Structure 1
Amino acid sequence: MTKTAKIKKNHPYIIFRKLVLVSILIGLLSGFLGILLKKVTEYYEQIFFERANTNTLFYLLFPFIGLSLIYFLRQYLFKKKENKGIKEVFESTESKTKNLPNYKIPSHFINGFLTVIFGGSTGIEISTVVAAATIGSVAQQKKNIFRQYKTELICAGVAAGVTALFGSPIAGLLFSYEVISKKISQAFILTTGIAVGIVYALLLLINEPPLFAINISTWNFRAIPYFILLGILGGLNAVYLTKMVLFIKSQFVKINTHFYKIILGSIILSASLILFPQLYGEGYHSIKTIINEPNQNLLTISIGLSLLAILILKPIVTSITLASGGDGGVFAPSLFIGAFLGLLTALSLNHFFNSDVIVLNFMVLGMAAVLSASINAPFTALFLTLGLTDNYILFIPVLIVCFVSKYTAKMIFPHTVYTFIPNTSK
């Protein structure tokens, strides 16, 4: 057998070996990036939030400082190019020639971090996803042999980033499939499987706890009609969030001077944070506070109005944050809105109808419902939400609300913020 013939015979094995090695590298780099961004953001967000709570002046200053820093970094460090969020990933996977440039890694890392710690009402999830996708994109550019696996390697980075943030490798795999790739191949399973496995091993190594320590022990089949109701409400809230983001972004585009966008966005964001500090950052701190609140089962007029106001305001301040230059997406806002929606729904059912539903269960179900409808990915929402609590007792109820909310939202508005393409022909 000639040397050329041997090479041809061993070619599939050579490709397999190289894909394994590059997937390990993508998993390690994306995992470190995601874990680092999560840790430093949580640490500094807590410090800044506590400082703002002791002095209202910081609620006035922080949003302006954060948005201004992002603007100047974008102007003088990141080639004057704005981050488009996850649409950048779609543009790359749909094009054979367009790749995610290297600077997207530090750009999304830094801008996502600054947005959240200074009170921007969004999260670091999409920043992490795009930065991790860029790692996969850069990797496929290094060797010609990887060019045909561009989408798979980008998905490996995305899956690793989601796993690093939420501790659920299944959610990472499903997000890459449902939102990014929309198709499965042997290379997809290999690359994403290895990447999320590496990240999950890292999380086990550092003994990373679940994001929300919720003690869930049971649920009742008699509550299924209430689950369906919550799914419908989750779909409605997701549509409201999506349309608000699209509307406010379209209005801010009409403002030609970016500094005016920063001023307007800062004023609205600061006023909202003063009224409702729960809206600060991604809002996970507020969810944890409610979980640990012993009097969470009591519904009063003031509590009900406050929860309703938060549900109305959160999509607005999230949209303002993004439209005025902040970095992020609808991932964290969806979880936040869902938790508060579940809380309000459960308290209302118990107070007015003596339904005796479990409030904490409804908070988890609400998170899954709104996320599923917002990103049009029910299986991702299912495993991601269950992974947040490291508890799978609510598997069937979460599955129900995810599909009810998704199809409720699609019947009203078939697009998400990821898939909507504005009409520029007018």
Structure 2
Amino acid sequence: MNNTARIKKNMQLIKLRKLIIVSILISFLSAFLAITLKKLTDHYEEIFSSQATLHPLFIFLFPVFGLSVIYFLRHYVFNKKENKGINEVFESTGSKTKNLPKSKIASHFINGLLTVVFGGSTGIEVSTVVATATIGSVAQRKQNIFKEYKTELICAGIAAGITALFNSPIAGLFFVFEVISRKITRAFLITNLIAVTFAFGLVYLIDEKPIFTVDIITWHIRAIPYFILLGIIAGINSVYLTRCVLFFKNNLSQIRSHYYKILIGSVILSCSLFFFPQLYGEGYHAIKMIFMNPNEVKISYSLLYTFIGIIILKPIVTSATLFSGGDGGVFAPSLFIGAFLGLFVALLLNTYLNANIIPVNFMVIGMAAVLSASIHAPFTALFLICGLINDYTLFFPILVVCLISKYTAKMIYPHSVYSYAASVVK
């Protein structure tokens, strides 16, 4: 081996070693941020939602207060930089010169927390995605040798964050592949495999439990036609969610005054919460409640009214929250809608068609189906839901229904919220 080849090989080894080290650092920081945000949000959301239940006046005060605080923080602390959600990530990965500023870590962390805690009907997932993407972006700018790995390091931060949120390293990998990168390189595999491995190691080290405790016993082949029906309904419902978000984003953008936006969003949110308190925040507490004993639930007119109201209103209040300045996305709303939609469909089938299906299975599959169709990422939804409940019994039916719901949604409307944002950037 001549000197030139030896030097070149040594340079490659140095670059690889630095890439591994920076991936580990990004993984730890991103996972730590995600876990901290999740725990803080879960703790304070429970406190504030309990107070709103005890004192209904707070239902009308919390949203307007939370959205106002977010606006003033953005205006006076975060240099008037608007949080545009995952669109910011697409802008950064799609440009060699445009980078995510450091302030995005704090702004999305704080604003995501405040949005959900004060009743904003969204989730912290997209806030986590942008904040952890920024960690990867900042690390990439530290040394010139990392410039060619911009997308890979941004994806590493996101993958670690998703892994920490949902206890699923495979979901983290599939999310950055299906939604962000859409291509696999050797550097992508190295950085992201390291990121999810160390993130999952941190989750295991602190003994982080799955978000939902669900007892899945079995599923029956005779239920497959009903699963297919659920996939089609979930696909249609996800299009409704997407169109609601885009309607508020595009058709109400002519309202320039931030105060009017806050007022409109708060009124829609507060009125909806007054009649359906289950819509408060990301909705995981409401999902946990119906997971307690779904197989024993009996259908009634009041239950039908509640389910129909929740399924119709959730996309509207989510859209209103984002339109009025709240931080978040469609991740948590999709899971929330999917759980209630799955239980609703199961109860209708059992009551009126004597289908004798297992409601809890439909809840779990519904969550995956709506998420898959909403973000057009079936494998992300599959592994994310299995990680959420720490059970792979329903792996095959979830896979089938996720594919059906995604392609049903794409046939009706070709864009998800994410792909629409990406096409706007291009």
> Which residue of structure 2 aligns with residue 99 of structure 1?
99
> Which residue of structure 1 aligns with residue 64 of structure 2?
64
Q: Secondary structure at the match of 1:418?
A: helix
User: Residues 221 and 5 of structure 1: is their aligned pair in 2 closer, same or farther, counting only changes over 3 Å?
Assistant: closer
Aligned partner of 1:288: which letter?
A: K
Deviation for aligned residue 1:268: 1.1
User: Residues 337 and 367 of structure 1: is their aligned pair in 2 closer, same or farther, counting only changes over 3 Å?
Assistant: same
Is the CA contact 2:294–2:359 (under 8 Å) kept in the aligned structure 1?
no
Is the CA contact 2:373–2:405 (under 8 Å) kept in the aligned structure 1?
yes
Aligned partner of 2:130: which letter?
A: V
Please give the alpha-carbon distance, in whole angstroms, between the structure 1 residues aligned to 2:379 and 2:248.
29
User: Residues 340 and 97 of structure 1: is their aligned pair in 2 closer, same or farther, counting only changes over 3 Å?
Assistant: same
> Which residue of structure 1 aligns with residue 125 of structure 2?
125
Give the alignment's Cα RMSD to 1 decimal.
Answer: 1.5
Please give the alpha-carbon distance, in whole angstroms, between the structure 2 residues aligned to 1:294 and 1:124.
26
Please give the alpha-carbon distance, in whole angstroms, between the structure 2 residues aligned to 1:34 and 1:305.
36
Deviation for aligned residue 1:82: 0.8
Deviation for aligned residue 1:46: 0.4
> Which residue of structure 1 aligns with residue 367 of structure 2?
367
Please give the alpha-carbon distance, in whole angstroms, between the structure 2 residues aligned to 1:382 and 1:319.
25
> Which residue of structure 2 aligns with residue 113 of structure 1?
113
Cα deviation 1:198-240 (Å, max 9, x = unaligned): 1101111111111110000100000000000000001001000
Aligned partner of 1:243: which letter?
A: R
> Which residue of structure 2 aligns with residue 179 of structure 1?
179
Aligned partner of 2:90: which letter?
A: F
Indicate yes or no: 2:215 matched with 1:215: yes
> Which residue of structure 1 aligns with residue 83 of structure 2?
83
Indicate yes or no: 2:286 matched with 1:286: yes
Please give the alpha-carbon distance, in whole angstroms, between the structure 1 residues aligned to 2:206 and 2:153.
25
Indicate yes or no: 2:221 matched with 1:199: no
Please give the alpha-carbon distance, in whole angstroms, between the structure 2 residues aligned to 1:139 and 1:213.
36
Deviation for aligned residue 1:259: 0.3
Gaps of 5+ in 1: none
Q: Secondary structure at the match of 2:255?
A: coil
Q: Secondary structure at the match of 1:420?
A: helix
Deviation for aligned residue 1:260: 0.8
> Which residue of structure 1 aligns with residue 315 of structure 2?
315
> Which residue of structure 1 aligns with residue 324 of structure 2?
324
Deviation for aligned residue 1:250: 2.1
Aligned partner of 1:138: which letter?
A: V
Deviation for aligned residue 1:14: 1.0
Aligned partner of 2:52: which letter?
A: A
Structure 1: 4+ residue segments shifted above 6 A: 1-4
Is the CA contact 1:364–1:385 (under 8 Å) kept in the aligned structure 2?
yes
Deviation for aligned residue 1:6: 3.9
Is the CA contact 2:338–2:371 (under 8 Å) kept in the aligned structure 1?
yes
Please give the alpha-carbon distance, in whole angstroms, between the structure 1 residues aligned to 2:114 and 2:293.
29
User: Residues 108 and 177 of structure 1: is their aligned pair in 2 closer, same or farther, counting only changes over 3 Å?
Assistant: same
Is the CA contact 2:295–2:360 (under 8 Å) kept in the aligned structure 1?
no
Q: TM-score, normalised by structure 1?
A: 0.97
Is the CA contact 1:252–1:261 (under 8 Å) kept in the aligned structure 2?
no
Deviation for aligned residue 1:2: 8.4
Deviation for aligned residue 1:405: 0.2
Please give the alpha-carbon distance, in whole angstroms, between the structure 2 residues aligned to 1:294 and 1:28.
37
Q: Secondary structure at the match of 2:20?
A: helix
Is the CA contact 1:290–1:296 (under 8 Å) kept in the aligned structure 2?
no
| Matches for 1:140-289 after TM superposition, within 5 Å | 140-289=140-289
Please give the alpha-carbon distance, in whole angstroms, between the structure 2 residues aligned to 1:373 and 1:423.
18
Aligned partner of 1:215: which letter?
A: D
Deviation for aligned residue 1:76: 0.2
Q: Secondary structure at the match of 2:417?
A: coil
Bigger drift between 224-233 and 9-18 goes to 9-18
Indicate yes or no: 2:11 matched with 1:37: no
Aligned partner of 1:78: which letter?
A: F
Deviation for aligned residue 1:420: 1.7
Please give the alpha-carbon distance, in whole angstroms, between the structure 1 residues aligned to 2:419 and 2:170.
23
Please give the alpha-carbon distance, in whole angstroms, between the structure 2 residues aligned to 1:191 and 1:289.
38
| Matches for 1:292-307 after TM superposition, within 5 Å | 292-293=292-293, 296-307=296-307
Please give the alpha-carbon distance, in whole angstroms, between the structure 1 residues aligned to 2:32 and 2:7.
36
Aligned partner of 1:112: which letter?
A: G
Is the CA contact 2:295–2:358 (under 8 Å) kept in the aligned structure 1?
no
Aligned partner of 1:312: which letter?
A: I
Q: TM-score, normalised by structure 2?
A: 0.97
> Which residue of structure 1 aligns with residue 417 of structure 2?
417
Is the CA contact 2:87–2:422 (under 8 Å) kept in the aligned structure 1?
no
Please give the alpha-carbon distance, in whole angstroms, between the structure 2 residues aligned to 1:9 and 1:417.
44
Deviation for aligned residue 1:3: 7.2
Please give the alpha-carbon distance, in whole angstroms, between the structure 1 residues aligned to 2:283 and 2:169.
23
User: Residues 295 and 195 of structure 1: is their aligned pair in 2 closer, same or farther, counting only changes over 3 Å?
Assistant: closer
Q: Secondary structure at the match of 2:386?
A: helix
> Which residue of structure 1 aligns with residue 387 of structure 2?
387
Cα deviation 1:342-378 (Å, max 9, x = unaligned): 0100000000011111111000000000000000000
Aligned partner of 2:33: which letter?
A: L
Deviation for aligned residue 1:292: 1.1
> Which residue of structure 2 aligns with residue 138 of structure 1?
138
Is the CA contact 1:210–1:390 (under 8 Å) kept in the aligned structure 2?
yes
Please give the alpha-carbon distance, in whole angstroms, between the structure 1 residues aligned to 2:353 and 2:27.
49
Q: Secondary structure at the match of 1:419?
A: helix
Is the CA contact 1:252–1:324 (under 8 Å) kept in the aligned structure 2?
no
Cα deviation 1:283-329 (Å, max 9, x = unaligned): 00000001114674301111012101100000000000000000000
Please give the alpha-carbon distance, in whole angstroms, between the structure 1 residues aligned to 2:52 and 2:296.
25
User: Residues 375 and 421 of structure 1: is their aligned pair in 2 closer, same or farther, counting only changes over 3 Å?
Assistant: closer
- Identical counterparts, % of pairs: 65
Aligned partner of 1:158: which letter?
A: I
> Which residue of structure 2 aligns with residue 357 of structure 1?
357
Is the CA contact 1:248–1:320 (under 8 Å) kept in the aligned structure 2?
yes
User: Residues 103 and 421 of structure 1: is their aligned pair in 2 closer, same or farther, counting only changes over 3 Å?
Assistant: closer
